[in-house]
Structure 1
Amino acid sequence: MSTTTNQRETIEALDERFQERRRQVPVLAKRADAEGISAIRAKEDLVPLLFPHTTYKSYPETLVSKGRWAQLNRWLDSLSTHRVDVDVTGVETVDDWIERLESAGHLVTSSSGTSGKASFLNKTRRDRETSLRNMLDGLADLGVVPERTWHVIPVGPDTGVSAHQATRDMILDAYARPDSIPVPTAEVRKDHYSYLSRVAVIRKAMADGTANPDDVAAIEADGANRQRQTEERLRHFAEHILKRRHERIFFNSMFAPLFRLCEILEESGAAAGDLTGENALMTGGGLKGNTLPPDYQERIFRMLNISPSRFYHYYSMQELNLRAPRCAEGRYHVPAGLTLFVLDKDGEAPASGSDGEVEGRAAFFDSTVDGRWGGTITGDKIRVDLRGCPCGRQGESIHPDIVRYSDLRDDDKIACAGTIDAYVRGFVAE
């Protein structure tokens, strides 16, 4: 099949999804009408229709702080494909709200809200199943095929968030041997999102010099208790790892807690080379604000005996179901079903490139997204090679030097964000 035929079929598929979603997602319909877009005839036609990542935190903060859950439902409904008509009687906290929606099939996920305001994305069971299947497929493509012959260690704490638990259960079900290292059980807290929101608000108040000392003390005490529980969990795993140092272990973890686990192993007398099992690691994202030594990855791999062939690292975000896996050359490859855009800093137009490379703001259209419109403009600055990858794969490859615009001197302002936020607020006010 020719490249031209492939491109035509891709555009037809994008238009088909656009026509379907504009009938379902109120904000998309309003945006398309305002831009005069009635059909997708080229990839670039989608650019004005991509939603800035900030869209999913465009609700008035008082809806959460004052418990106006019915209005928050209307806000979420304006961004959703399936109507959010859920009784919120008796809901008191944001965690209650998320639990109530989940019981009705709206699997809302939220960011940590480090800016003081969390984002909320509506997902469906199809979204969750697609994401979990994509994760298993990525592992299998790497060579880590599902077989229950591993000790499985989900390193991070149990947050009580159903999406986290679903991922953990899937990995355990697919890979854990019957006598796998036991995972510590603890009382599952029901205040994950409320806690993160409180922390973000207190941090913002501290930066402004308006924080209440009692509130600061309470948050610090709660944080210290959570850190103690995490440390106990890591020490539990370290003890069992040393008893099974020659057996295969599958680690599922972000880098920061995994590095601390390695430190605990060293404190217990272990050295690089003591673990001889052909261990594997799955992780996504970067350091999430944590500071680690420049060689943290090399130290983790040496201590835990993880080779590149058993390291599943991917680039993705909560707005997407699909992941861009990292190859042996350190680049991320965009999978089928995910359309990549590299935009200018303001997110208004495709960025210009030279010498086969282009640098700018990452944006994606995920054709598998079911609960929302699949187009999103991220806060990430990326560099893309359009000529193929040294690993041998053809097509676009994303270099690993991904940074947040918010971490640069350039601020993270997307030109159309204010306009789309105004559309959303209009639906809440109606």
Structure 2
Amino acid sequence: MLSTSTIQIVQSTVPVLAANGAAITKVFYQRLFLAHPELKHVFNQSNQRSDRQSQALATAVYAAAAHIDRLETLKPVLLPVLHKHRSLQIKPEMYPLVGQELLGAMQDVLGEAATPEILQAWGEAYGEIADLFIALEAELYAQDEQAKGFSGYQPVEISDIQEQADGIRSLTFKTDGPLPDYRAGQYITIRIQDQDGLWHNRQYSLTTASNTTTYTIGVKREGIVSDYLHAARIGDTVLISAPAGSFTLDASDEPVVLIAGGIGITPMLAMAEEALAAGRDVTLHHAVQDERNRPFTEQLALLEQRGARIVRYAEHQATDQAGRLPKDVIASITDLTYVCGPEAMIQFVIEHFTASPDKLHYEIFGPALAFAAETSITQ
């Protein structure tokens, strides 16, 4: 348990972190990969190049400093990060390495302002934060072991490939035995190795309700792993980790509204299928740039046949609703609502959603912590 003086010192650094957080975390990653190049196999190097990972970590550090005396209040916002860590196989022994380089980066950037007292206080605080992450992640790993012993990365075979749209395909995986169950909205992590020997890990939402026989994902071609998957063939083998993610359909019988932008449709397909199977009313809004390149048209049609109301938006060549999802439609929603797509679209829905905030749930692709923290923690 942290002392009162340690808590006061850490909280007093919030303004400094707000001003220097991004610089500190950028230096942190440089130090981390120089000292421990093996961790390049864990962290998304594309996000490193775009500074997205640094931004997410800076927000996490800021949030932790502001809430160091009540870390338990961060659990709801941290849950997606914990699931991501579990899917990437982050282990307890990695946390001391991260803590050492984070404190070193603070000293590098802040110089004399990073006094011995501040560094000591932050060292103690980081230990408390790390212990919280490790304990919560241990619970998730235990669930994997209970789920048919699926741990670490396991090989699966590509059993089917469907071209869904230009630059988007779906892939189905199978293995000799049963696969772990999952909840609609969760994802799997796919791990591939490039020609230089570097491992790359990416998360892809599962697009069907759980069946324990196969996993199906949708892949938009836009990076190293997606390029690999777009070149893959039926019969190829890839490595995956067990399904993870906290963006899941609740277990109630309430009507549900699903809002998706572009490839953000992928988790919504599983959610819609699961909700319909439970006898729930389902409305799915899907917005794309061009109607001629809408993915998963057959699956959407099947959901419609089963009773879902599908509203299709397109900015070009629209056959249903022209343009984007209107503000008044969002404002009229009173049911439980799930949103997945570009950050700008999610922010637009948040701004115009007038029902109770606890009815709105969202998922973004990429480092989500910065967005979640900015829209939740710092309010």
Task: State the TM-score, normalized to the length of structure 1.
Answer: 0.26
Structure showing the higher strand proportion among its residues? 2
More helix by share: 2
